[in-house]
Every structure is written in C-alpha cells, then in structure tokens.
Structure 1
Amino acid sequence: MEGGAYGAGKAGGAFDPHTLVRQPHTILRVVSWVFSIVVFGSIVNEGYLNSPSEGQEFCVYNRNPGACGYGVTVGVLAFLTCLLYLALDVYFPQISSVKDRKKAVLSDIGVSAFWAFLWFVGFCYLANQWQVSKPRDSPLSEGTDAARAAIAFSFFSIFTWRSRVASA
C-alpha cells in the first residue's frame, strides 16, 4: 500500500478487501471481537445456575449478579465497538480530510486504551469473585468451564486491545 496520511493510501482509492484483511489492526480487531463473544457467550450460557433449594438462579461468580452483569455488559459493548471500528476500517480509505483521518486514528487509540482498562477491571473482578466462590455455589461443577473461559478470555482481551494502542 502506498504511504499516505495516518497509515492509509490516498483517499478515493478502490476498496481492497484483501488488503484490509491482512492489516494487523484488522486482525487484532477480529480477534478482540471473537474474544468478546466468548466472554459474554459463556456467561450468558452457563454463568447463571438454578438453585433447587432456593428456587431461583444465581451467578456462578460467588453468587454475585454484578460480576455476571459486568462480564456480559463489557462483552456485548466490546462486541459492538469492534463492529463499529471494523466498519470504520472499511470506510477509512474513503476519508479525504487529513483532520478527519487524524480524529479516526486518535479515537481508535483512545477507545482501545479504554477497553484495555475495562477488560483489566473485568478480569480482576471476575477472577476475584471466582476465587472467593464456595464449592456449594456450583453444584456438580456446573458452569466452571464457562466461568474459567470468561476469566481467561477477559485476560487475553487486555492484550488484544492494548496491542491495538501500540500498533496505531
């Protein structure tokens, strides 16, 4: 790709999906998107269990609905943010103003740093709530794999979002 303002070629060029898919920040965005799906999907799918004795469902993270809520919220919002910035990546070569390109790149850096922080908080929160969970909270080890997957992919997400800050 020919050098241009803020890492893109000259504005108005033809859209090349092959070039888009090979760019490191696009790959990191797709990986972050998949990680967010794993986090919120595993919590929604197996993060809540029914308690036969209490007749209600509870969160596997120390019976703390805030932990499950945080994981789902951050996962869904990260999913939507990835989609938004993937759309911006597609549209970016069509932006002719250097000032607008600068705004797009700086917003990507800022948003990526913010999400790296949110994933760090989420990892610490979920790991702490999982650590203090009591064995009775998860009968027959139900939901343990999903809970651990959400914690692990929260941790991995820190680095995918942080890497996008460094690569911009």
Structure 2
Amino acid sequence: MGPVLQGEVFSIAVFGPIVNEGYVNTDSGPELRCVFNGNAGACRFGVALGLGAFLACAAFLLLDVRFQQISSVRDRRRAVLLDLGFSGLWSFLWFVGFCFLTNQWQRTAPGPGTLQAGDAARAAIAFSFFSILSWVALTVKALQRFRLGTDMSLFATEQLGAGAGQAYPGYPVGSGVEGTETYQSPPFTETLDTSPKGYQVPAY
C-alpha cells in the first residue's frame, strides 16, 4: 500500500471514531460533550484534519493518474509544488493534532462516558501518529519528484511536445562530387610493401 492510500485509510481511522463515538453524555444530563476532556475544539480539529486529509489523498490519487497527460512543464511543476507544500503542511498539522489530542486525553477525568468511548479516543490518537509518518513519506516522495523534475527527466515532455510540429533538420546537401583529398584510408589496415628491403628473390 502506497503512502497516499495509507494516508487515506489513516484519515478515516481518525475522524471516523470521533464522529461515531467521540461525543458522550455528561454525568449531569443528556447533553453530549467531546470525550477529549470535554473540549469540543479537540473533536472538531480531529474531524477537520482527518476529513481534509481524506479529500487531499483522493485528489492526489487523481493527480497521479492524470499526471502523464499534463503536457505543460509549468503545470507539472505547479502540481509537484502543490503536492510538496500540502504534504509538508499536513505533516505538521498531524503532529500538532497528535500532541493536542494526546494532551486532552491525558487531562480527561475518568467516568462512564470515558470508558465507553476510550477505545475510539485511543484509536484516533494512534492513527494520528501513523498519519504523521505517512504524510512525511508523501513529503519526501514529492521532494524527490521535484528534484527529479529539475534534473530534466520529469519536465522534458513539453520540450518534446513543443517541437512535435517542427520538422527535423535534413542532411546537408553536397555538390555530389567528392574531392580526392577527403579520402582516408580505412582503419585497422596495414600498408604492405611489395618489395621490402633486405629481401631478394632467390635464383634457381
């Protein structure tokens, strides 16, 4: 499984448990509160982070499929820079989210609601950590792709496409008469002396 698919699966594993089991009843009444220390901002941040990562991974999968069809060097460079910038940003946000959720969970007072939604909270924290690794891998992959492009092999398609309508230069046309001074002896041949010195024909 590639880093993009991993990021997509991990993002579902983060916002899914929070949406389904992240809000529990309070001890004083039927009012729902976030399982992370009653901090609604922690639940909203986890859901927004996971949902944004899921949509971004789907967009990057589509971009990977259609990347070879992009003929413009400028558009390819922009796509790779967008991938690099977004992956780096989301790696940082996943790190912030992991620290935030972990801190709020440590401050959560034990209770019936905490025991009920404890597995969901721990799953969200664990997959937030795994998401950091997957998005760092995506950032490294995008950086390698950008360096490969600046080395010419990635963005060479436009140069080929731009010259596709132009005819190749033909061979130079000569006068049809070759001068004798241009002749060269073929390589790897020896000049044989028909009458070498020091050799005499024996008389019979």
1:82 lines up with 2:82 in the alignment: no
Deviation by residue 1:82-131 (Cα, 9 ceiling, x = unmatched) = 11111111110100112211111111011000000110110010000001
Q: In structure 2, what is the equivalent of residue 153 of structure 1? A: 127
Change (3 A) 1:140 1:134: closer
Deviations 1:47-79 (A, max 9, x none): 101225222001110011000010001111111
**What TM-score does the superposition give when structure 2 sets the normalisation length?**
0.67
The structure, 1 or 2, with the larger RCO (C-alpha pairs under 8 Å, 6+ apart) is 1
Give the distance between the partners of 1:68 and 1:110, measured in 2 at CA: 25
Match of 2:18 in 1: 43
Query: 1 or 2, which has the higher helix percentage?
Result: 1
Within 2, Cα distance between the matches of 1:71 and 1:139? 19
Corresponding residue SS for 1:31: helix
For the residue of structure 1 that corresponds to 2:47, the secondary structure is helix
What's the CA shift for 1:166? Answer: 1.1
CA distance in 2, matches of 1:97, 1:88: 14
Aligned position for 1:100? 75
Question: How many positions carry a matched residue from both structures?
Answer: 142
Q: Extract unaligned runs of 5+ from structure 1.
A: 1-23
Match of 2:86 in 1: 111
Structure 2 match to 1:166: 140
- Report SS of the residue matched to 1:135: coil
- C-alpha spacing 1:85/1:59, structure 2 compared with 1 (3 Å): same
Secondary structure in structure 2 of the residue aligned to 1:44: helix
Residue identity matched to 1:162: V
Measured in 2, the distance between the counterparts of 1:104 and 1:73 equals 24
Residue in structure 2 matched with residue 4 of structure 1 by the alignment: none
Q: SS where residue 36 of structure 2 aligns?
A: coil
Task: Name the SS for the 2:71 alignment partner.
Answer: coil
The answer as to 2:96 corresponding to 1:128 is no
One of 2, 12, 32 as aligned partner of 1:57: 32
The 1:88/1:62 distance shift into structure 2, 3 A limit, reads same
Aligned partner of 2:115 among 141, 145, 158: 141
SS at match of 2:38: coil
